[in-house]
Amino acid sequence: MFLHSVLFLVLWLPLALAASNYVNTTRSPTTITKGANISKPRCPSKCGNLTVPYPFGIGLGTGCSIDPSFEINCNTSSNPPRPLWDRNLEVTDITDSHMRIKNWVAETCYNQRGNLTEDSQVNVYLPQNFGFSEMNKFMVVGCDDVAVISGTTGRNFTSGCVSICSSKESIIDGDCSGTGCCQTSIPNGLQNFETSMTSIDNYTKVWSYAGCGHAFLGEQDSFTFHKANLSDLTFLNRTIENVPVLLDWVIGTQNCTESHKSNNVSCQQNSRCIDPDNGLQGYRCTCFEGYEGNPYLHPGCRDINECNQNPCDPRGICTNTPGNITNLKSCLGFGFLTLIIGVTWLYFGIQKRKLLKLREKFFQQNGGLLLKQQLSSNEGGMESAKIFSAEELQHTTNNYAEDHILGRGGYGIVYKGILSDKRIVAIKKSRIMDQDQIEQFINEVIILTQVNHRNVVKLLGCCLETEVPLLVYEHVSNAAKLVERCLKLNGEERPTMKEVAMELERFRKHNVQTWIQQEIPQKSVALGLTTEEPDLYQVSINSEFVIGEFSEQNTMESCRYMLSTLLAKW
């Protein structure tokens, strides 16, 4: 079966230092910062390294945002400027559905005697249209800590985890399941949380390798635990800078259905209103598939011209259509050609497989397994008979070409073929087969392949992979020429009866008489070869036929019967 080509998308992941505690987080697709209009007219769209798209806006009270809770204060006293939001929370990224901000970390530290030297907890409230994403985890790093996170706005929620260490050797890098590090999930819709931390033994048993505990909410997979974190004095600041908190956001206070009823939907052209599943009251707008841009600003989303990314072969012709990737009829090139070749290859592979299955079905249906069993049980049987494949006989007859026909009978056609060993054979292609006499047919094939008599055309083997079995005989060239002269010549070139008689007499004297040896009965035999119009490659096996009991009278009668039958056609 054929294997066709498959295209793979290769994702290049950023490399990080081996000693780093932090890993990149997969970002959701963003189209809101693409297109001609990112912010409202006469409103800036950049603060430092951050692109600020509407409904967010830069400047307090400037009207650049959809609501005061979406205002970004750009602090230009820093280099680069720092985008600050809601009580000086630094924003690092804004996408179509999320916002990332820098972290807060709760910390408790103890001295060797078990006295508390540092205790800072976290208590955060978000504006109405924002919530902590469930893609965050509440994480605790320490060796003697019990930490609790709770929230009351948006969702009533309380959870926590315990992080302890039995020994320094029990701590495993990358493992955050309770030894040196633990974590727990938070629900959607949470809009505030506060932390509280306590210690079991005030770090007295682990102070030699861990003196502080830390608790924080951070984006899932953005933090990787290392045992070195337990004694790292810079851990708090590095976590604030490098482990973001992921926030969900929506606009308005109603869902899409309610907003449509009140005619208060901000979604522009080529976009639609969606009800997010983040537990917040409100809605968002998103561009139609194949479009990008800011769905909250006029004129809305614009069609993506995929031809700019050259989806076709460089020599191909690409035509972009609205909302679609490309017009397949217009995207002509190497890729399309490869697709056609692949489909064609697949089609012919399937057809070939079907043909093989059909041949196998015919082989079993025509007694192939029984024949193999008979040949293997008869000593020397495999040398006397051969099972030909359908493909082999098709090749030897040039796909059963007209110019390979030796003669026609009432039930079949005889073709001339040349085997791979250069032997010339005659292939009998019958038209019917009695399925009730399969076993008798196989037995007659076994007998006939062992017959070696001057008056009988030798059966070399058969093919059982066709609907009606094919029989392969030795080729008798002189007889064939006689048939050709009798049947193919016209007018004055036709041989006289005297010439025919002389020719038959020559055959008799040279012991090459090979016509049928008895009168052919009207009924069919299992081989399906006995017809009302006998041919050269035809033998009946029954109780009246005994190998060796041939007489001159019998052979001449057969010749006369054959000749009279041939002449009757004229």
C-alpha angle 249/252/253, rounded to 5°?
100
Higher pLDDT residue, 474 or 253? 253
pLDDT above 90 for 221:
no
- pLDDT at residue 378, rounded to an integer: 66
Q: Name the packing angle between helices 368-377 and 334-365 (round to 10°).
A: 60
The predicted model gives 295-310 an average pLDDT of 84
The predicted model gives 517-530 an average pLDDT of 37
Judge contact between 296 and 266, C-beta under 8 A: yes
The predicted model gives 101-117 an average pLDDT of 95
Q: What is the rounded CA–CA span in Å between residue 103 and residue 16?
A: 20
- pLDDT at residue 543, rounded to an integer: 32
**519: which residues sit within 8 A by CB, 6+ positions away?**
557, 561
Residue 429 in marked binding region: yes
pLDDT above 60 for 343:
yes
Q: Mean of the per-residue pLDDT values for the chain?
A: 78
- pLDDT at residue 313, rounded to an integer: 58
The continuous run of DSSP H or E covering 489 comes out as none
CA distances from 56 to 42, 61, 98, 353, 535 (A): 14, 12, 12, 61, 96
**515: which residues sit within 8 A by CB, 6+ positions away?**
479, 536, 555, 558, 559, 562
- pLDDT at residue 255, rounded to an integer: 94
- Both tokens assigned to 360: 């196998």
- pLDDT at residue 23, rounded to an integer: 40
Q: In the 8-state DSSP scheme, what is residue 463?
A: E
Greatest mean pLDDT among 273-287, 334-348, 371-385, 479-493: 273-287
Start-to-end CA distance of the chain, whole Å, equals 53
- Both tokens assigned to 331: 């995207």
A 10 A CB-CB count for 451 gives 15
Strands 57-58 and 71-75 turn out to be parallel
- Model confidence at 410, pLDDT cuts 50, 70, 90, reads low
- Assign 320 to helix, strand or coil: coil
pLDDT above 80 for 395:
yes
Buried b / exposed e along 94-127 (16+ C-beta atoms within 10 A): bbbbbbbbbbbbbbbbbeeeeeeeeeeebebebb
Q: Find the radius of gyration of the CA atoms of the chain.
A: 46
- pLDDT at residue 324, rounded to an integer: 65
- pLDDT at residue 483, rounded to an integer: 52
Higher pLDDT residue, 372 or 427? 427
Q: Comparing 71-80, 265-274, 522-531, which segment has the lowest mean pLDDT? A: 522-531
CA distances from 549 to 455, 510, 521, 544, 554 (A): 10, 18, 18, 10, 10
pLDDT digit string (tens) for 163-212? 999 999 999 999 999 999 999 999 999 999 999 999 999 999 999 999 99
Q: What is the rounded CA–CA span in Å between residue 319 and residue 333?
A: 12
pLDDT digit string (tens) for 126-162? 999 999 999 999 999 999 999 999 998 888 999 999 9
- Both tokens assigned to 95: 């996408």
Strands 106-110 and 116-120 turn out to be antiparallel
Judge contact between 485 and 451, C-beta under 8 A: no
- Model confidence at 511, pLDDT cuts 50, 70, 90, reads very low
- pLDDT at residue 243, rounded to an integer: 97
Global pTM?
A: 0.56
The continuous run of DSSP H or E covering 172 comes out as none
Q: Within 13 Å, how many C-alpha atoms sit on residue 482's CB side? A: 25
pLDDT digit string (tens) for 65-100? 999 999 999 999 999 999 999 978 999 999 999 999
- Both tokens assigned to 357: 């299955």
